[in-house]
Amino acid sequence: MRLEWICLGALGLLALGTIAVPALARRDPLAIGDVLSLRLMPPFATDVRGEFHLLGTDRFGRDLFVRMMLAGRLSLAVGVVGSVLAAAVGTIVGAVAAWRGGTVDALSMAVADALLAIPRLVLLLVCAALWQPGLTTVVVVLIATGWMGVARLVRGEVLGVRAQPYVDAATALGARPWRVLLRHALPNALGPAIVATTLGVGNAILLESGLSFLGLGIQPPQPSWGNMIAGGRDLIVAAPWVAIAPGLALIATVLACTLLGDSLRDRLAGESGATLRDRA
């Protein structure tokens, strides 16, 4: 319980920081100023203009802390939007497959299996490389490679719920099939999908940063944690803080999302265990 609140608090603080810090910054985090006198200053340094740099500066003399927060905006948004939309697509596909059955079911599950047979990173790379790199591409690709797991989960759950007496009751009362699906079957089948989505946020953030690290995701000068780490790659000996700092932010975020998802799953497992006992 306490851990959940710590994770939520940390994520909230981070979200607040990503909105407030770049907005309050005195200088544009994308603009390049006096490179020679400002570049690669270590953390806690004060520059010639008397400005303080909490995490130092990068090779173009831009403040790393402000850039890291600006990058966090993108990384968090991409992670949340990417995994939520992927889950939504998966839910629709899974529910329709289970509800309609027959060819629709067989076809959509075959496609899901085929896509699951390609390691997600490989699939992600193929898709990302095919379209113009950028924000939209990353989100679309995360959706395209992330819906299959949820689709399988929801399909299984809906198939289970479908055999419940209350579904027969609703049908007998004259409800149309899609109304039964939306009002009665789906809400009872969503639990595992919600947990999978929460756990997926951290994963999506990691994948986005990975793509950006390889140069196939968010493109500079727009900062993302992945391309900031890539930017510090050849400076790892001369100025290690450039690559280390965004990595720590990334780890903290993914950690918070994973722990949150884990505890949500434990709680839901306890609940569904109870309902199963009640039914028996």
Partner 1 sequence: MLLLWLVVTITFLLVRLAPGDPAQLLVPPTASAADAARLRGELGLDRPIAVQYARWMGDVLRGNLGESFATRRPVGRVLREALPVSLWLGGGALLLTFLIGVPVGILQAARRGRAVDRALTVAATLVYAAPSYWLALALVAVFTYGAATWGLPAALRLPAFGMRSPGIELHGGAFLADIARHSVLPLTILAAIGAAGVARYARTSVADVLAQEWVRTARAKGSSPRRVYLRHVLANILPAMVVLFALSFPGVVAGSIFVESVFAWPGMGRLMVTAISARDYPVVLGATVWYAALVIFANLAADLALPLLDPRRGG
Binding residues (CB under 8 A) for partner 1: these are 110-111, 113-115, 117-119, 121-123, 125-132, 202, 206, 209-210, 213-216, 226, 229, 232-233, 236-237, 240, 243-244, 247, 250-251, 254-255, 258-259
Residue of 215, 202, 194 whose CA lies nearest to 252: 202
On the question of a cis peptide bond just before residue 221, with omega within 30 degrees of 0, the verdict is: yes
- Angle between the N-to-C axes of helices 191-213 and 64-100, in degrees from 0 to 180, rounded to the nearest 10: 140
Sign of the CA dihedral running 256, 204, 86, 121: negative
Minimum CB–partner distance for residue 31 and partner 1 (Å) = 27
Minimum CB–partner distance for residue 90 and partner 1 (Å) = 17
Nearer to partner 1, 83 or 161 (CB): 83
Nearer to partner 1, 190 or 260 (CB): 260
Interatomic CA distance for residues 35 and 129, integer angstroms: 32
Nearer to partner 1, 7 or 185 (CB): 7
Sign of the CA dihedral running 119, 120, 125, 130: positive
Nearer to partner 1, 75 or 167 (CB): 75
Strand segments (E) across the chain: 45-46, 52-53
Q: Which amino acid is at 164?
A: Q
Nearer to partner 1, 98 or 250 (CB): 250
Minimum CB–partner distance for residue 216 and partner 1 (Å) = 7
How many residues belong to the chain? 280
Q: Which amino acid is at 100?
A: R
Nearer to partner 1, 167 or 253 (CB): 253
Minimum CB–partner distance for residue 243 and partner 1 (Å) = 5
Minimum CB–partner distance for residue 116 and partner 1 (Å) = 8
SS3 (DSSP) at 53: strand
Nearer to partner 1, 94 or 246 (CB): 246
Minimum CB–partner distance for residue 139 and partner 1 (Å) = 17
Minimum CB–partner distance for residue 247 and partner 1 (Å) = 4
- Name every residue whose Cβ is closer than 8 Å to that of residue 129 and which is 6 or more positions away in sequence: 216
Interatomic CA distance for residues 108 and 97, integer angstroms: 7
